[in-house]
Structure 1
C-alpha cells in the first residue's frame, strides 16, 4: 500500500504532467521540476575534503598549468593547504589536485618514517622505501633518470579498496615551483620515484589501472569479505 506522502507526490506529478504536457517548453519545465525531486542542488563543491573516485570526469582531464602570476595567489595557497590536509587526513603518501576536484597541475608527496613500523622489513627493503619530507610541486616536470622498471603492488585513494601490480621507472627527476613560488628540483628513486610517477599520471588524466597487470587487480579486503560473510564496507570518508 502506498504511503500517504507517496500518494500525494504521485498526485503532484500527475497534476504537473497534465499542466505542462501542452507544449515542449512546458515539458522542459516539468522535467526540471521532476528532477529536483531526486537530484537536489549540489552544495559540496571543490576543493573537496575527500578523494574523487574513478568515474569522476575530473580524473580523466589533462590538468591545466597554474599561470605563473597566480602561483603565489591566495587561491592556489588555499588549494595546496587543502591538498596537504586531505593527504594527512587519509594517511597517504601522495595527492594530486584533481583528486580533490581541482584540475590544476599541483601535486604533494610525503612518505613518513613511521610507515616503516607498519610494514615487514623485507617489504620495506624490496620496494626501496625511504622517508620523504612533505614536498609540493606546482607545474611539475618529470624526467626519467633510471629506465630500469620495478613491478610492485600499487593502490590509489581514487580507486578506493583495490590494488594491482604496476611497473614504474626506478629513478626520476622532478622539478617545479614549491608552495612558496621557489623553483625546486628533486632526484627520486625506488618507491618515492613511484609516488612521483603516480601523481604525475593524475595530472595527465591517467590512473594506475591504465598501466596495471590486470591479472593482479584485486579488492584489498577480499579476505575480510569472506570472513565476515560480505558484511564489509569500503569508506570514502574519514
Structure 2
C-alpha cells in the first residue's frame, strides 16, 4: 500500500474513531453522569450492568484506535511537525492515558467488576474524565489549526515551524500542570457541566493566545 493511501486511511480512521471516543466522553459527562445523580436506587444496578459497561467498551476502544491512528499520522508528519501538532498531540496522549490508566480501572470498581473503594474510585475516574472534557476543545482546535483553513493559509494563525517558542513552551507547561491536577488535584469548577464547558473554551483561548502572541 502506498504512503498516500496509508495517510488517507489513517486520517479517515483518526476522525472516525475520534468521533466515537469524544462522543462517548460527552455522553458520560453531559448525560449519563447527570442521570446517575437523579436515578432511583432500583434503576442504577440495571443501568450499570447493561448500559454503562457497553458504553465504556466503545469509549475505551475508540480512544485506543484514535491514539493508534494518530501515531501513524504523526510518524508521517515527522518532517512537518509544528506547534499546533505538538500541543494537540500532547493533549490527545494525556486524554488516551487518562482513559486506560485512570478512568477504566476505576470505573471497574464503581461498576462492581472488581473490588475496591467505590467512592475513591468514582472521584478519580470523574476528575480524569472531566479533565478530558477540558482538553477536548483546545485539542480539536489544534488539529484544525495545524493545517486547515484560511486563518492558517493567510498567517492569521501561524504554524510556527521554527521550533520551540516561548508561547509553545508555556502552552505545553500549562497542559502538563492541568494533567497533574487530573492525577493529584481537585475537580474545582469542573464539577458542573456548565463549568467544564466554559473552562474548556477558556483554555482554548488561553493556549491559542500563548502560541500566537508569546
TM-score under structure 1 normalisation? 0.28
Higher relative contact order (CA 8 A, sep 6+): 2
Larger radius of gyration, structure 1 or 2? 1
User: Taking structure 2 as the reference length, what is the TM-score of the superposition?
Assistant: 0.30
Q: Which has the higher strand share?
A: 1
Higher helix share: 2
